[in-house]
């Protein structure tokens, strides 16, 4: 018995250690999928990266529950996009030491927008007044955001600095590759008028000098009669040849645009994840479709 008790004590300690170790894995929360993807690339297996917004909710205007807020506040690192993205951030108390604004270093490159108020189908009206928020659609700004995430990760000891540096170099190379692909895809398209179904492509348009006019359509939804009439008028006004969809709509919606002489391009904004592939694959596929649609 004297020998048995110490052995039992050791066994109990080992059994208790496993769940504790699992719980001790650092946790990172991101306010959109793009930041989640960058963070996952940078931390590898050393941390869990969470994007808590349900798939059917616009991350820009998500309202976290009390349970969601508790999860966010207890994270080791909270990644904000900045540029006015995620309105809930201004209404929730977040621990300053855990928060990293990934666009803090590029605020001088923000795009000011006009005041546009509309509904996203949930009965509430939202405003796009202030700043264009989808910064990561410009690969060069995405690199700056990835660098900010890497700094925040290493500063808090979430992952080894040398490993993060190596992963950042690989991510930077991939994003530079996207920029090269985009430059080629949009070559010669600067004089071709385009229409977007939602005002979220400002940084993409600026980066590649695109002539882009935006509508206010619900992502992935069939346009209403009023919206169809608006599209007809806008095509007549601009001579647009390309319609960029935030999400894939019903086939009949594609037909409406095609009948107006518009090339349909689905270019996910990546505030949410995609059904297949990841950030890099989704953007690359959209750029390939854009290149194929080019009349040049």
* Average pLDDT, integer, range 85-110: 96
Q: Are 178 and 204 in contact (CB under 8 A)?
A: no
What do you get for the CA distance between the two ends of the chain, in Å?
Answer: 86
Domains and CATH numbers, the chain: 20-178 (3.40.50.1980), 187-293 (3.40.50.1980)
The answer to whether residue 251 scores a pLDDT higher than 70 is yes
Tokens of 88: 């809930």
* Average pLDDT, integer, range 125-142: 84
Q: Given its phi and psi angles, is residue 204 left (phi above 0), alpha (psi -120 to 50 degrees) or beta?
A: alpha
Cβ-proximal residues to 196 (8 Å cutoff; 6+ apart), any chain: 212, 213, 214, 215, 243, 244, 246
* Average pLDDT, integer, range 117-125: 49
Give tens-digit pLDDT for 217-233: 999 999 999 999 999 99
State residue 134's pLDDT score.
98
State residue 293's pLDDT score.
81
State residue 243's pLDDT score.
97
HEC secondary structure over the chain: CCCHHHHHHHHHHHHHHHHHHHHCCCEEEECCHHHHHHHHHHHCCCCEEECCCCCCCCHHHCCCCHHHHHHHHCCCEEEECCCCCCHHHHHCCCCHHHEEECCHHHHHHCCEECCCEEECCCCCEEECCEECCCHHHCHHHHHHHHHHHHHHHHHCCCCCHHHHHHHHHHHHHHHHHHHHHHHHHCCCCCCCEEEECCCCCHHHHHHCCCEEEECCCCCCCCCCHHHHHHHHHHHHHHCCCEEEECCCCCHHHHHHHHHCCCEEEECCCCCCCCCCCCHHHHHHHHHHHHHHHCCC
State residue 268's pLDDT score.
96
Count CB-CB contacts under 10 A for residue 130: 13
The answer to whether residue 247 scores a pLDDT higher than 70 is yes
The answer to whether residue 16 scores a pLDDT higher than 80 is no
State residue 132's pLDDT score.
97
The answer to whether residue 118 scores a pLDDT higher than 80 is no
More confident residue, 20 or 250: 250
State residue 124's pLDDT score.
52
Percentage of the chain modeled with pLDDT above 90 = 81
Q: Over the chain, what is the mean pLDDT?
A: 89
Tokens of 208: 């590649």
Rg (CA), the chain: 22
Confidence category of residue 101, pLDDT binned at 50, 70, 90: very high
* Average pLDDT, integer, range 137-165: 98
Count CB-CB contacts under 10 A for residue 226: 8
State residue 21's pLDDT score.
40
Give tens-digit pLDDT for 22-72: 457 899 999 999 999 999 999 999 999 999 999 989 999 999 999 999 999
The answer to whether residue 100 scores a pLDDT higher than 90 is yes
Confidence category of residue 130, pLDDT binned at 50, 70, 90: confident
Give tens-digit pLDDT for 171-199: 999 999 999 999 999 998 999 999 999 99
Q: With 0.85 as the threshold, say if the pTM is over it.
A: yes
The answer to whether residue 14 scores a pLDDT higher than 90 is no
Q: Are 198 and 190 in contact (CB under 8 A)?
A: no
């Amino acid at each position: 018995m004297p020998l048995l008790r110490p052995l039992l004590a050791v066994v109990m300690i080992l059994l208790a250690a496993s769940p504790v170790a699992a719980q001790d894995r650092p946790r990172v929360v991101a306010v959109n999928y793009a930041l989640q993807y960058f963070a996952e690339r940078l931390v590898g297996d050393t941390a869990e990266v969470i994007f808590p917004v349900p798939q059917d909710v616009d991350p820009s205007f998500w309202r976290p529950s009390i349970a969601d807020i508790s999860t966010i506040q207890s994270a080791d690192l909270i990644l904000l996009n900045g540029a006015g993205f995620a309105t809930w951030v201004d209404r929730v108390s977040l621990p300053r030491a855990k928060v990293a604004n990934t666009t803090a270093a590029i605020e001088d490159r923000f795009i000011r927008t006009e005041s546009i108020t509309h509904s996203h189908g949930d009965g509430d009206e939202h405003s796009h007044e202030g700043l264009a928020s989808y910064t990561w659609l410009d690969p060069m700004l995405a690199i700056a955001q990835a660098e900010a995430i890497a700094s925040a990760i290493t500063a808090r000891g979430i992952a080894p600095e040398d490993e993060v540096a190596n992963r950042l170099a690989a991510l930077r190379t991939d994003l530079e590759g996207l920029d090269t692909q985009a430059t080629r895809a949009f070559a010669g398209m600067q004089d071709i008028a385009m229409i977007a179904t939602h005002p979220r492509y400002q940084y993409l348009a600026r980066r590649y000098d695109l002539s882009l006019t935006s509508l206010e359509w619900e992502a992935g939804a069939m346009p209403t009669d009023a919206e169809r009439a608006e599209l007809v008028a806008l095509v007549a006004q601009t001579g647009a040849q390309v319609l960029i969809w935030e999400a894939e709509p019903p086939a009949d919606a594609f037909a409406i645009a095609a009948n107006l002489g518009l090339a349909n391009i689905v270019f996910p904004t990546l505030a949410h994840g995609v059904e297949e592939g990841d950030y890099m694959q989704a953007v690359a596929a959209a750029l390939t479709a854009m290149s194929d649609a080019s009349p040049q």
